[in-house]
Structure 1
């Protein structure tokens, strides 16, 4: 059970509409004329935090790593690859992959040792984090006069189940100290984004295993008139309804400031107020939670805009004949990737850049991206097993890793167009029989613990037929432009000015992407299989970046790890 200490629930702006049966078509310029409130505009400045302070902070939380040099415009990021999210395992065999992609190992989970694991208590973690931040002069409300912070602590959890979903062990892994950041002006409006986040994670020993410190100095630079509650709701309904049906009365909004990563651009990045838009949306015959989107609080325009994706030829295959519905394989025998996204076709302006960041980074680092399809060119059949009438052997199951971003719930994820039924249901999926090791679903799911009365194991367990890991979320998440890039950089390894960040384990790379793009209220989740003797894929690196486990074709159970972003 999560421990929440000093946590203030998110406040939603009260919303009422007398009558609104359909999404408004009011132009942003007309909405702007109805602005009723002035809020400050800020310019991002140097936080004043230097290399010596960062070193004191690291030492204060038990980290012996040394920084190479300091860039005041870069967030501080540290992760202990040996200890972060670690579970007791031992290596029992080594070999090579059947496809020649690199060395493999076989590891088994020590279930009894796992059950004995005890995390650092929440109160102790809070005390250590605050003491270290204070000693380094890095408490958020000390660094920025406009910021006040409310700390809280939560746990990440690891669960082992049998293939029927019966829980064999459920333990708290690490203790996360998180800070809810608000302005000390403008009625305490919330701050979010990679430039307004402080997070420390402690392992059972009390040593920090992850640290993210993204905080800038703020300088007022005028003010802007923002939309009132009713106008904001109408603007949000319009933004969410692109390609979807939205009940405007079900739309909720929150006034906040989204602070980006301003690396290299201090003094020129302006931060203006936004409205966070959330709602249930209907896509075809499915109603599900939309990814949270941001609009400019003054104009009502979406914060992230993109062009419709290029078209894709219609499939030249016979209908309702699975034997003909299976295309020829593409590039089996090499390490490669694939990307698909749902963007402006269903109201998500960030998806195109998000997926593009993954594709561009993988290609640039020597991992060819076999396919990159977006919007109406992203097809459900690319993810669907041939036994269900799909073509995954030629696409998703013909590459080593696939990145998808769009809409999802606990039962699956969406696609526009009419090439199939528009929703990849868990019953449509069988992955890893051919090639796929890692599947990333950057959406609002689909790893919710339960959905429709079924556990995650009952829903997604049958899809694992060689698939090593599904990396996703278990809650509503934010539309954004950088998950894919950050994930790829951490899979393959990069060097930034603060630290030399070598390649991370696949699960760690995903958690780092969630940490740097999502607020801490969003829960990331990762699922994988157990083989006989509790062999597992939990500690995989991407091919060529470290040890990778072999395929588990017939799982006897599953593991799931989750925690706050």
Structure 2
């Protein structure tokens, strides 16, 4: 359970919404500075007892302890090879060690973070701190819990401007502590702001209309909430202007990814990218070879490869093209083939559906080592509504049997797939049958926010090369968690799950091929249970 502590207020330049000429106005904020200086970074490291932390060119600061960040105790029990002849390392859960794990309380974590940030003179004014434990659970095939433990206690800060939520990757302070109170991860990405005028904003009815225009006819808008959105520091934004957070449900019943639109009366919506040409006539998508765009025949087992797919403007998600490209480019720049990258009307439900149910995943999502998906989702599947209906507009969990082809890791950047419970069914009841050799599903317990860069951040964490004392590649699930921490507001809860095999074997510590150990496939008939890890972004 999360607990909260109000951080003491300092001098504020924010103002309450005003009314002018019958229309509300809200402040605009100018960016005085972005990120931390080298001296501030060093001071923060000292305050948290960290020897060194990485500071990006944009001033954002991140740290993840190589050995202890989201670490789950396991033991190596054997070596082997997979269906492609790749070496595998069998590890088993160390249940006894898991049961001994202890974490500090939420209240203690809140005190420690406030003390460290205060010592570094970086305690945010007017922010609200909340703490939540990152947890791991294992169940047997009947859903009986065999072990449940907390891995860390994470503190996140929530901000406001002009009395409204101020959220996004550029308004992020998060610190996680282990059982001894040592910091195991840190994300610090903020700006110094000052009010610089104001703008007239849409009425509530107009805001819903703008959200409806942005999200398209496939989504029924449920709310348009006024907020301030903080883009990543790397965007170089010079102003922070009021926005609306659009929420809705698509016509297939899936929760729409949150989309943010400008609130100013005359502000334009983001320009829509050109739709991808139809399959069979399309040139290569970014990062994908021309031969693989026209059909699956040229693809073969025996090499590490990936694919990406997602609904775009046709489902009210304008940045899908950018996001898939960011994922693809991280792989192609390292010589790893992207075998397909379908979006808009070329994203088909049958590409994820098992042939036993009339699908074709053996030629697409289950014919590469990792598939990355972006779109609207629900606890029971994800949606293609508004974009395509091949074979239909919703991939149900009951139609998924992944890993009986080639896929090891299914990366679903969508909403609610791994909600702990829905409709009376737990996560393992809904998605356990989908594991037929698949190693992991990485997704979210909550609704997620639309993004243009999550995929590239995720891929980079998996594939990066060591440099001096940092930049080591992360295990797949840790890369997913860290990318989500970087990219999503603190209210978004990321989650990962996978199967447990004979003797307690797990592949929760998998790296991408060539970056570290990978576990063997666990065929459906050999599954003895499931594991689940979740934490706050």
When normalised by structure 2's length, the TM-score is: 0.89
Which of 231, 238, 241 in structure 2 is aligned with 1:260? Answer: 231
Which of 308, 312, 323 in structure 1 is aligned with 2:279? Answer: 312
Tell me the distance in 2 between the aligned counterparts of 1:191 and 1:538.
Answer: 34
Which of 307, 314, 335 in structure 1 is aligned with 2:304? Answer: 335
Contact 1:49 1:138 in 2 (8 A): no
Shift of 1:302: 3.9
Contact 1:156 1:175 in 2 (8 A): yes
Shift of 1:280: 2.4
Which residue is 1:16 aligned to? none
Kindly tell me: are residues 455 and 442 of structure 1, through their superposed partners in 2, closer, same or farther at Cα, counting changes over 3 Å? same
CA RMSD of aligned residues (A): 2.4
Structure 2 residue 240 is matched with structure 1 residue 271: yes
Which residue is 2:158 aligned to? 180
Kindly tell me: are residues 307 and 42 of structure 1, through their superposed partners in 2, closer, same or farther at Cα, counting changes over 3 Å? farther
The size of the alignment, in residue pairs, is 508
Which residue is 1:226 aligned to? 201
Which residue is 1:405 aligned to? 374
Shift of 1:463: 1.0
Tell me the distance in 1 between the aligned counterparts of 2:450 and 2:272.
Answer: 11
Higher mean C-alpha deviation, range 80-89 or range 504-513: 80-89
Structure 2 residue 349 is matched with structure 1 residue 395: no
Which residue is 1:547 aligned to? 517
Contact 1:523 1:563 in 2 (8 A): yes
Structure 2 residue 446 is matched with structure 1 residue 468: no
Higher mean C-alpha deviation, range 398-407 or range 450-459: 450-459
Secondary structure of the residue aligned to 1:123 is: helix
Which of 185, 201, 214 in structure 2 is aligned with 1:239? Answer: 214
Which residue is 2:406 aligned to? 435
Post-superposition CA distance 1:358-402 (Å, at most 9, x none): 012211121110000001101111111111111111111111100
Shift of 1:551: 1.1
- Please show how residues 532-543 of structure 1 align to structure 2 within 5 Å: 532-543=502-513
Contact 1:540 1:549 in 2 (8 A): yes
Higher normalized contact order (CA 8 Å, seq sep 6+, divided by chain length): 1
Post-superposition CA distance 1:1-29 (Å, at most 9, x none): x2322379xxxxxxxxxxxxxxxxxxxxx
Shift of 1:309: 2.6
Structure 2 residue 486 is matched with structure 1 residue 516: yes
When normalised by structure 1's length, the TM-score is: 0.85
Contact 1:174 1:202 in 2 (8 A): yes
Which residue is 1:191 aligned to? 166
Secondary structure of the residue aligned to 1:53 is: helix
Contact 1:292 1:476 in 2 (8 A): yes
Secondary structure of the residue aligned to 2:30 is: strand
Shift of 1:529: 0.7
Which residue is 1:477 aligned to? 448
Post-superposition CA distance 1:208-246 (Å, at most 9, x none): 111000011224333221112222122223323x14152
Kindly tell me: are residues 95 and 52 of structure 1, through their superposed partners in 2, closer, same or farther at Cα, counting changes over 3 Å? farther
Kindly tell me: are residues 445 and 306 of structure 1, through their superposed partners in 2, closer, same or farther at Cα, counting changes over 3 Å? farther
Structure 2 residue 254 is matched with structure 1 residue 292: no
Secondary structure of the residue aligned to 1:521 is: coil
Structure 2 residue 105 is matched with structure 1 residue 121: yes
Which residue is 2:58 aligned to? 73
Structure 2 portions without partners, runs of 5+: 8-19, 282-294
Kindly tell me: are residues 292 and 495 of structure 1, through their superposed partners in 2, closer, same or farther at Cα, counting changes over 3 Å? farther
- Please show how residues 443-458 of structure 1 align to structure 2 within 5 Å: 443-458=414-429
Post-superposition CA distance 1:116-164 (Å, at most 9, x none): 32211111111111111111111122xxxxxx21111111111101122
Secondary structure of the residue aligned to 1:501 is: coil
Structure 2 residue 490 is matched with structure 1 residue 557: no
Kindly tell me: are residues 162 and 113 of structure 1, through their superposed partners in 2, closer, same or farther at Cα, counting changes over 3 Å? same
Structure 1 portions without partners, runs of 5+: 9-32, 142-147, 315-325
Shift of 1:301: 4.6
Which of 338, 350, 354 in structure 2 is aligned with 1:381? Answer: 350
Contact 1:57 1:133 in 2 (8 A): yes
Higher mean C-alpha deviation, range 202-211 or range 217-226: 217-226
